[in-house]
Structure 1
Amino acid sequence: MSGISTIPVPDSEYRVLIIDDFIPGPNKLIDYALSSGRAPRSEKRYPGMRMPVPTGYLRYALATINVALRQCHFSHTLAAGEAYFAMVTTPPSALTTEQRIPHFDRPYTDQYALVHYLCAPSFGGTSIYQYNPTGQIAVTQDNLVSYQQSLSRELNNRATPQGYINGSTDLFKQIVDVPCVFNRAVIYPCALLHSGNIPPDFTPDLNPYTGRFTVTAFFH
């Protein structure tokens, strides 16, 4: 780790944790993805493919993130999780409506998601969004049903812009923008509405050395 920082999420109690130079030898992780012999699988919601990471990665990530959480005075300690290599492979023109808007991972603010960039900055970082009709930033168990009902009404009454969301729209306001930096880890509560900042001219590249290759993980 060469740097630990946080970004406050406006109009909320939440913060985004950033750890630069997250792991030593990040290129070896890319080498593993290519040489492990495991086949990646397509995901229904994720616009690409995923594959499990080596078990040692999860142990290292938990220990490193917990150090950073303590250093930055977060109240949570993480004990377990799951992590996957992830590669965006869906062209902007082929996205479903769900893939064209921000999403939340799980409706729990005490569980955390990680995006670990193993790609060039030009592939775009990650943004946190606010849902304009209700002002929601986090989708929790308490407001999950009302969010889903409101979003369904809005999507039935208007068309969503084509391609990956990359900035504010009529429905969603971009409130935090974290740039992509190679070997940077971005950690945030799973309940936050978020999306990758994938550019409009994104062209799928299936080579982990040159495509939008990351690790995504979920911790509790």
Structure 2
Amino acid sequence: MTSISTLPVPGTQFQVVIIDNFMPGPRKLVDYALTNGKAPHDEALYPGLRMPTPPGYLRYALASINLVFKKLKIADTLCDGEAFFAMVTRPPATLTTMQSIPHFDRPYTHEYAVVHYLCSPVYGGTSIYRYNPTGQIAITEASLNRYQQSLDAELARHPVPPGYINGDTELFTRIVQIPCEFNRAVIYPCALLHSGDICADFKPDLNPYTGRFTVTSFLR
């Protein structure tokens, strides 16, 4: 049975929406990823592999999330987007600087990112962060230059060693943590600084049935 909960993002007007038991037959999605004949591909920023989901996935996600938004009195109505199977495959020591700090997906607070977990809770969930030098949590078009200029200066002075962020650092403070649960969808505005909670000794597992396998969607 589907259940819905929310978490406020401190210091903002935003909230994280959590839908458990998000989709019927979730293991069939993993089966599809292995049998559809399409090859996954590397991404420039994402630390692993991605591949498009079946067309019906996006339709279902949009309809389901719009119903939840209506129940929660969230004014936004979502009508389009993209959805990808995603698997983290890069060892911590191989990450770039930008993969080793929180990121935002797009500088828009009325577009949403969705992480749909198709993996064990052992792989960790998702966290929202505050950028300490400026106090920014959401990076919008109006605040993007301020954030980028400050971040560039801080990284030049204090380079970040490669590795997945999973908690507080000198530059970033974790303000919300959402645990992973199989078939849980976590929904938040694309502008929020966030990162997956991946442990320091993470060892890639390329089997979608046993690795850190998710669907990542961007909805507008």
TM-score (norm. length: structure 2): 0.99
Cα deviation per residue 1:62-109 (whole Å; 9 max; x = unaligned)? 000001111111110101110000000000000000000000000000
3-state SS, counterpart of residue 51 of structure 2: strand
The aligned counterpart of 1:203 is 203
CA distance in 1, matches of 2:59, 2:162: 39
Q: Say whether residues 1:74 and 2:74 are aligned partners.
A: yes
Cα deviation per residue 1:166-187 (whole Å; 9 max; x = unaligned)? 0010000000000000000000
The aligned counterpart of 2:186 is 186
The aligned counterpart of 2:11 is 11
Cα deviation per residue 1:20-42 (whole Å; 9 max; x = unaligned)? 00000100000000000000000
The aligned counterpart of 1:216 is 216
The aligned counterpart of 1:54 is 54
The alignment yields a C-alpha RMSD, in angstroms, of 0.7
**Deviation, structure 1 residue 159:** 2.5
3-state SS, counterpart of residue 152 of structure 1: helix
The aligned counterpart of 1:90 is 90
- 154-163 vs 21-30, which deviates more? 154-163
Equivalent AA in structure 2 for residue 122 of structure 1: V
Matches within 5 A, 1:1-220: 1-220=1-220
Cα deviation per residue 1:82-139 (whole Å; 9 max; x = unaligned)? 0000000000000000000000000000000000000000100000000000000000
3-state SS, counterpart of residue 116 of structure 1: strand
**Deviation, structure 1 residue 162:** 3.5
CA distance in 1, matches of 2:149, 2:194: 19
Equivalent AA in structure 2 for residue 134 of structure 1: T
CA distance in 1, matches of 2:25, 2:201: 30
CA distance in 1, matches of 2:2, 2:53: 23
Runs of 4+ in 1 over 2 A off after TM superposition: none
Cα deviation per residue 1:179-208 (whole Å; 9 max; x = unaligned)? 000000000000000000001111001000
CA distance in 2, matches of 1:160, 1:120: 29
Could you tell me which runs of 5 or more consecutive residues in structure 2 were left unpaired when the two chains were aligned.
none
CA distance in 1, matches of 2:72, 2:196: 24
> Identity of counterpart residues, as a percentage?
65
3-state SS, counterpart of residue 128 of structure 1: strand
CA distance in 2, matches of 1:136, 1:105: 15
CA distance in 2, matches of 1:162, 1:58: 33
**Deviation, structure 1 residue 46:** 0.5
CA distance in 2, matches of 1:146, 1:11: 18
CA distance in 1, matches of 2:2, 2:80: 24
CA contact (8 A) 2:5 2:19 kept: yes
CA distance in 1, matches of 2:72, 2:120: 27
CA distance in 2, matches of 1:57, 1:29: 9
CA distance in 1, matches of 2:101, 2:214: 20
Equivalent AA in structure 2 for residue 16 of structure 1: V
**Deviation, structure 1 residue 161:** 4.2
